Copies of this chain bind each other. A is one copy, B any other.
Amino acid sequence: MAKIKLSSISTNAPKKLDKDKVKAATREILEELDELQNLLYAQHKYSVLLIVQGMDASGKDGVIKNVTGTLNPQGVTVYSFKAPTKDESDHDFLWRVHKQAPAKGMIQVFNRSHYEDILIQRVHKWIDDKTAAKRMNAINDFEKLLAVHNNTQIIKCYLHVSHEAQQQRLVERTEDPRKMWKYNEQDIEESKLWDKYMDAYEDAINNCNYIPWLIVPADQNWYKEYLVALTLRDTLKALNMKYPRLKK
């Protein structure tokens, strides 16, 4: 498999696409998702894990809200990973993640994930390359466990923004009163480490590919939401789910 080089992938929606038409298509997909989610819940055989990764201001919160916000909340949960607690640090890095794996019938969304353990931790040299390599193997084993032993459909999205778009959005957070709550001084510092983050992401995407990644051009929200919704819809559709028959 050819190595993925992020700098050679556009962060923009394809030029030929019409924004309004794409938005209309997304609305239709979301309606289809409603029925598919109901089937998933009723059949109680498969589950979905939607992992959303991306740099600060790449639009993780927005895509989660707009793609999963119309689903029945009884069948979808979002878990946001923060810095590990003391208790979490006292266990292997996947301990807290495994706990949050989806039950049959459920859609679980990860806002950030175990990938942070080979991204931020690597960029800041809290772990060395050897440990990172071991973690990547462990991540492949872990995702295989969920996929093989609980029929979990894993969708891994990398929200691919340009450094320019990110910086612009970070500035907006200092100016727009509705966005100020998201502003965090630390984000500016992290943004300076852009190239190191891209290297770490590339390694994660190329090595943790037991489940392949979806690279989502993320400079335009309408395209990003369309692509994630479409992938979720296609993944569910491919399962050929059926409502269980009446048990007599």
Contacts and interface: CB of A to CB of B under 8 A. Distances in A.
A98 B94 CA distance: 9
Interface string A67-96: 000000000000000000001001111110
A103 interface: yes
Nearest to A152: B92
Contacts of A98: 94-95, 98-99
A90 to B, nearest CB: 4
A101 interface: yes
Interface residues of A, number: 26
Main secondary structure of the interface of A (DSSP, over half): helix
Interface of A: 44, 87, 90-95, 98-99, 101, 103-105, 134-135, 138, 141-142, 144-146, 148-150, 152
29 contacts: A87-B103, A90-B105, A90-B150, A91-B103, A91-B104, A91-B150, A92-B101, A92-B145, A92-B146, A92-B149, A92-B150, A92-B152, A93-B149, A94-B98, A94-B145, A95-B98, A95-B99, A98-B98, A98-B99, A99-B99, A134-B149, A138-B141, A138-B145, A138-B148, A138-B149, A141-B141, A141-B142, A141-B144, A142-B145
